[in-house]
């Protein structure tokens, strides 16, 4: 069980929760602040003054005063009316992460909910009750209303959930898990659905997967460099120190490390009449290093957001209840767009290396399309075409989402972030990139084997051996779709980077 400290939880902890589906609870030290804010909200709800979100309607209906005896029904109706999500369900690992982020936000003691609300989420995580969250319907302000409403619906016994992997009604899931549906008090429904946790969870998942893709790309780029007998001179540390960008320096250093000891490289230091390699070989540190620095910038933004209070109104110093706009997910939208650009560029340069290796005019004497018997065999010809298709798709998906605002809710919410689908698209983009890198892995391994008896480095040979345990060498044409899927799965699982010893910490 992971203990969360609101306001101080690092990305490494959230990464562990995402990868391992680890349950989490708030530190008990958060309880006093939560209890104090909840008391202030309860007192306000019983009073005569109208305070938005506590004893009023919502959005354009904020001028409607709600009687104290109706506040419980108000919160329940809010949840049910906002369950308007559509589309495929969000994967369970992202739902768990979203629920964890909601714990962190409520645990700051500014949302005014009771500890009972927090313990309901904790118990659901611990007992594997995972709400079914439709993936479409949020515009990223006034928070991720629809998806978070589906989460809150499960808490009150409405909607659908999965219990131990089986989908059923939320009421049945809670009953099987021996969890009592919660009756929401003043502001608690609003505190649950008003926030950026859906967008932030999807952006974090996209970030974690993009870092894994970046790691794998250093290994596949190193394999490709050996396959085409490329030069390691562009990796010399002095070049990158003179420019000074941390990502570029890190990429060059890691590539030097994984290529250390390659016989292939040593074989053509002298007598090679090629002066320079194409940019896709020579500029991997500059391109993926830039992408890495962009991902690190997004990391800092998302770590702050993960620990932020993003509902409305908030209980602030002095017991005041103040209405603001922390629910607006513009920060998350910008971060998601940055991640998308990085993912697209990592794939763009990798695809060019695939094209280089299958082209006998550019591959330095590798067989056409990397088949030993070209003509009767087409080899990896169409695998390269697949990477071109996925690269192009990712370029289209990388177009910014955060600039595409549209007014909603009778023009009350007249500027929105579109962070939700900006973050959601990252899953598809990373899947596409994993296939591009998987095909590069297949091509580079085939190319290095064509250089026998010369050997690559130990780290790269270990990577090829891992691949060959799943996918045999391509000596004759065969049904290739399973090979591509297997190679992409190794990339997605982090095995390519792990075997070679490449690791970018979240």
Structure-derived torsion over alpha carbons of residues 332, 337, 339, 345, reported in degrees to the nearest 10: 180
pTM attached to this predicted model = 0.96
| Sole residue written with tokens 């792990």 | 498
| Rounded Cα distance, 481 and 470, in Å | 13
At 21, list the tokens: 């589906």
Is the Cβ–Cβ distance between 133 and 184 less than 8 Å? no
At 330, list the tokens: 């513009």
Choose the catalytic residue: 18, 52, 279, 479.
52
Give the containing element (helix H, strand E) for 301: helix 284-306
The counts of H helices and E strands in the chain are 20, 9
What's the pLDDT tens digit per position in 451-462? 999 999 999 999
Is the Cβ–Cβ distance between 457 and 463 less than 8 Å? no
Active site residue 52: yes
Name the CA radius of gyration of the chain, rounded: 26
User: Which residue from 199, 6, 204 is spatially nearest to 103, judged by alpha carbons?
Assistant: 6
3 forms bridges with which residues in the sheet? 25
SS3 sequence, 384-416? Answer: HHHHHHHHHHHHHHCCCCCCCCCCECCCCECCC
Is the Cβ–Cβ distance between 192 and 117 less than 8 Å? yes
Give the Å distances, CA to CA, from 495 to 349, 488, 501.
21, 10, 10
| Rounded Cα distance, 57 and 502, in Å | 53
Tens digit of each residue's pLDDT, the chain (506 residues): 899 999 999 999 999 999 999 889 999 999 999 999 999 999 999 888 888 888 887 776 777 888 888 888 989 999 999 999 999 999 999 999 999 999 999 999 999 999 999 999 999 999 999 999 999 999 998 899 999 999 999 999 999 999 999 999 999 999 999 999 999 999 999 999 999 999 999 999 999 999 999 999 999 999 999 999 999 999 999 999 999 999 999 999 999 999 999 999 988 877 777 778 999 999 999 999 999 999 999 999 999 999 999 999 999 999 999 999 999 999 999 999 999 999 999 999 999 999 999 999 999 899 999 999 999 999 999 999 999 999 999 999 999 999 999 988 888 888 999 999 999 999 999 999 999 999 999 999 999 999 999 999 999 999 999 999 999 999 999 999 999 999 999 999 999 999 999 988 76
Beta strands 24-26; 2-4: pairing state: parallel
């Amino acid at each position: 069980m992971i203990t969360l400290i609101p306001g101080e939880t690092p990305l490494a902890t959230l990464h562990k929760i995402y990868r391992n589906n680890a349950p989490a609870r708030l530190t008990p030290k958060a309880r006093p602040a939560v209890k104090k804010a909840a008391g202030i909200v309860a007192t306000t709800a019983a009073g005569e003054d109208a305070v938005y979100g506590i004893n009023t309607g919502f959005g354009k209906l904020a001028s409607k005063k709600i009687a104290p005896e109706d506040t419980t029904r108000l919160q329940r109706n809010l949840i049910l009316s906002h369950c308007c999500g559509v589309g495929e369900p969000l994967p369970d690992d992202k739902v768990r992460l979203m629920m964890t982020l909601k714990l962190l936000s409520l645990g700051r003691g500014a949302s005014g909910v009771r500890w009972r609300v927090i313990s309901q989420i904790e118990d659901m995580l611990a007992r594997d009750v995972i709400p079914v969250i439709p993936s479409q319907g949020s515009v990223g302000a006034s928070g991720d209303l629809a998806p978070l409403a589906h989460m809150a619906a499960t808490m009150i016994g409405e909607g659908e959930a999965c219990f131990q992997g089986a989908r059923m009604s939320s009421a049945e899931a809670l009953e099987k898990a021996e969890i009592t549906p919660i009756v929401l008090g003043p502001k608690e429904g609003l505190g649950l659905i008003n926030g950026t946790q859906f967008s932030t969870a999807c952006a974090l998942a996209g970030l974690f997967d993009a870092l894994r893709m970046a790691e794998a790309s250093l290994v596949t780029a190193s394999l490709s460099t050996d396959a085409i007998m490329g030069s390691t001179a562009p990796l010399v540390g002095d070049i990158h120190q003179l420019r000074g960008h941390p990502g570029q320096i890190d990429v060059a250093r890691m590539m030097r490390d994984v290529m250390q000891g390659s016989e292939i490289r040593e074989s053509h230091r002298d007598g090679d009449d090629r002066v320079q390699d194409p940019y896709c070989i020579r500029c991997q540190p500059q391109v993926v290093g830039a992408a890495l620095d962009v991902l690190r910038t997004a990391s800092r933004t998302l770590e702050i957001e993960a620990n932020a209070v993003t509902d409305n109104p908030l209980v602030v110093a002095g017991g005041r209840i103040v209405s603001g706009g922390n629910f607006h997910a513009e920060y998350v939208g910008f971060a998601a767009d940055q991640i998308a650009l990085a993912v697209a560029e990592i794939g763009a340069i990798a695809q060019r290396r695939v094209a280089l290796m299958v082209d006998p005019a550019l591959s330095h004497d590798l067989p056409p399309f990397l088949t030993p018997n070209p003509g009767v065999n087409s080899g990896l010809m169409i695998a390269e075409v697949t990477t071109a298709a996925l690269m192009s798709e990712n370029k289209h998906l990388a177009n910014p989402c955060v600039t595409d605002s549209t007014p909603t809710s009778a023009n009350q919410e007249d500027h929105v972030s579109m962070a939700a689908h900006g973050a959601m698209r990252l899953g598809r983009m990373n899947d596409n990139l994993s296939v591009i890198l998987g095909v590069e892995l297949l091509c580079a391994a085939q190319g290095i084997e064509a250089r026998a008896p010369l050997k690559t480095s130990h780290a790269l040979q270990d990577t090829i051996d891992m691949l060959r345990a799943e996918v045999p060498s391509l000596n004759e044409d065969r049904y290739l779709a399973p090979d591509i899927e297997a190679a992409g799965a190794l990339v997605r699982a982090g095995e390519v980077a792990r075997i070679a010893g490449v690791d970018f910490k979240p």
